[in-house]
Amino acid sequence: MVRLLTHNMLQCHVKNCTNGFPLRFQDPVIEQHEQEINKEFLVNMLPRIDWNALRTTVDQLGLPELPAAVPENPAEDEAFLAALHRALMEVNIQSGSMVCPECEHVYPIRDGIPNMLLSEDEV
Amino acid sequence: MLATPDLRHLTADDYDHIYEPAEDTFLFLDALEEDMEAVLAPRCPRICLEIGSGSGCVSTFLAMHLKTPTLYLTTDINPRACTATRRTAAQNRVVHRLEPVRTDLTAGLLPRLRGAIDVLLFNPPYVPTEVAEVVTADTAATDPSDLLAATWAGGQLGRVVTDRVLLQLPELMAPNGVAYLVLLQENKPDEIATMMAKLGFDMTIVMRRRAGRERLMIARFSRTIE
């Protein structure tokens, strides 16, 4: 269950690969797990989210579109926070893999945990 | 005394593959408890990163007791440790704010999270050993069946893995971030303090304890205020 929150923080680290973000999901098995919304947590996390990467990923997964930009006062915007909560916290990628958009390296998801390990000749 | 995480879900079979919480772990929890209200809570951390989370006991403890809207990212090269970490978080009802990633130290998180780590937790393999005993990412990637040595074998001075992380602190840590590290006297803490001062970090020993032959301590690093 890789959530898009985590995915938004992972980057390809193959040697000489400089633009490996965001990773693209391949053969994702997507589940939605309903969860209580924690607005304080979402607002606290927002400055750490790469918004364009999140929008791109949501689009690639065929999920409901997110607004083009974060509203000026996100803490007051209930509809925005609800959409953000669904995308970041409720979408779970159970299995599949993540592929680097630049070098095409494949990072598998096993038991719901992203595997970012590389062998020595790749680092 | 704050409650320690419930670990009843972990079995003898789990502990054949992952580090079983011991004196060093409990000293770590006590030091975090000591710093909880004065150092950690006022920072309202966004991201706490634990490197080498093992059973997940330390991050889960912080997630249970630090009443801030914090995301707990954890890494471990051992897949069994990653699943154990998630199970420990679930057992203690903090799984919605904790995310395990299988990787070598911080690989795959940089440069994306450059300067974004508000709290860093690391109980490294600190036992002085032959360098050849230190488990590398390559070993972990090709044969993950026996990674227990990764939890303790620290190479020369027990510092090989520790120093790799310490040298990354300038890149990893948020301006007001704090990093916690378990150390032994044999790791030469004075030498570490000098090395980190050159990188712009102050070291404070938060707590010390003798456990059998081990003279353990918890060090805290924060950027030097100019």
Sign of CA dihedral B23, B28, B32, B35: positive
Residue B169 clears pLDDT 80, i.e. is over it: yes
Q: Report CA dihedral (B49, A67, A98, B60) to the nearest 10 degrees.
A: 30
Residue A68: which of A57, A80, A52 has the closest Cα?
A52
User: What pLDDT shows up at residue B221?
Assistant: 98
CB B84 within 8 A of CB B5: no
Do the Cβ atoms of B73 and A10 come within 8 Å?
no
Does residue B9 sit within a domain?
no
Does residue B15 sit within a domain?
no
Domain count of the fold of chain A: 1
Q: What is the pLDDT of residues A90-120, one digit of tens each?
A: 999 999 999 999 999 999 998 899 999 997 7
Q: Could you list the residue range(s) of the whole structural domain that residue B76 is in?
A: 27-223
Give the distance, in angstroms, between the CA of residue A6 and the centroid of all CA atoms in the same chain.
Answer: 6
Average pLDDT, chain B: 95
User: What pLDDT shows up at residue B194?
Assistant: 98
Partner A, chain B 128-187, Cβ-Cβ below 8 Å:
136-138, 140-142
CB B152 within 8 A of CB B186: no
User: What pLDDT shows up at residue B136?
Assistant: 85
User: What pLDDT shows up at residue B181?
Assistant: 98
User: What pLDDT shows up at residue B66?
Assistant: 97
Q: Where are the alpha helices (DSSP H) in B137-198?
A: 137-142, 160-166, 169-172, 189-198
Question: To the nearest whole percent, how much of chain B has pLDDT over 90?
Answer: 88
Do the Cβ atoms of B112 and A116 come within 8 Å?
no
Sign of CA dihedral A50, B108, B194, B186: positive
Domain count of the fold of chain B: 1
CB A119 within 8 A of CB B141: yes
Does residue A9 sit within a domain?
yes
Region for residue A54 given its phi and psi (left: phi exceeds 0; alpha: psi -120 to 50; beta: otherwise): alpha
**Which residues of chain B are within 8 Å of residue A40 when distances are taken between CB atoms?**
69
CB atoms within 10 A of CB B149: 14
Residue B148 clears pLDDT 80, i.e. is over it: yes
Does residue B5 sit within a domain?
no
Does residue B36 sit within a domain?
yes
Does residue B4 sit within a domain?
no
Residue B136: which of B117, B122, B155, B110 has the closest Cα?
B155
Buried b (16+ CB within 10 A) or exposed e, B18-57: bbbbeebbbbbbbbbbebbeebbeebebbbbbbbbbbbbb
Chain B interface test: which of A116, A120, A122, A123 (most B C-beta within 10 Å): A116
Does residue B10 sit within a domain?
no
Q: What is the pTM of this model?
A: 0.97
Does residue A110 sit within a domain?
no
Does residue B13 sit within a domain?
no
Q: What is the pLDDT of residues A18-40, one digit of tens each?
A: 999 999 999 999 999 999 999 99
Residue B8 carries which side chain, given as an amino acid letter? R
Q: How far apart are CA B139 and CA B60, in angstroms?
A: 28
Residue A42 clears pLDDT 90, i.e. is over it: yes
CATH number at A38 reads 2.20.25.10
**Which residues of chain B are within 8 Å of residue A6 when distances are taken between CB atoms?**
73, 99, 101
Q: What is the pLDDT of residues B48-102, one digit of tens each?
A: 999 999 999 999 999 999 999 999 999 999 999 999 999 999 999 999 999 999 9
**Which residues of chain B are within 8 Å of residue A108 when distances are taken between CB atoms?**
none
The DSSP annotation for A42-99 comes to: HHHHGGGS-HHHHHHHHHHTTPPPPPSS--SSGGG-HHHHHHHHIIIIIEEEEEEEEE
Q: Cα distance from B70 to chain A (closest Cα, Å)?
A: 7
Residue B55: which of B7, B101, B124, B16 has the closest Cα?
B7
CATH number at B33 reads 3.40.50.150
SS (H, E, C) A11-54: CCCCCCCCCCCCCEEEEEEEEECCCCCCHHHHHHHHHHCCHHHH
Give the distance, in angstroms, between the CA of residue B58 and the centroid of all CA atoms in the same chain.
Answer: 8
Does residue B21 sit within a domain?
no
DSSP state of B168: T
**Which residues of chain A are within 8 Å of residue B176 when distances are taken between CB atoms?**
none
Q: Could you list the residue range(s) of the whole structural domain that residue A7 is in?
A: 2-103
Tokens of residue B132, six digits? 């050849």
Average pLDDT, chain A: 95
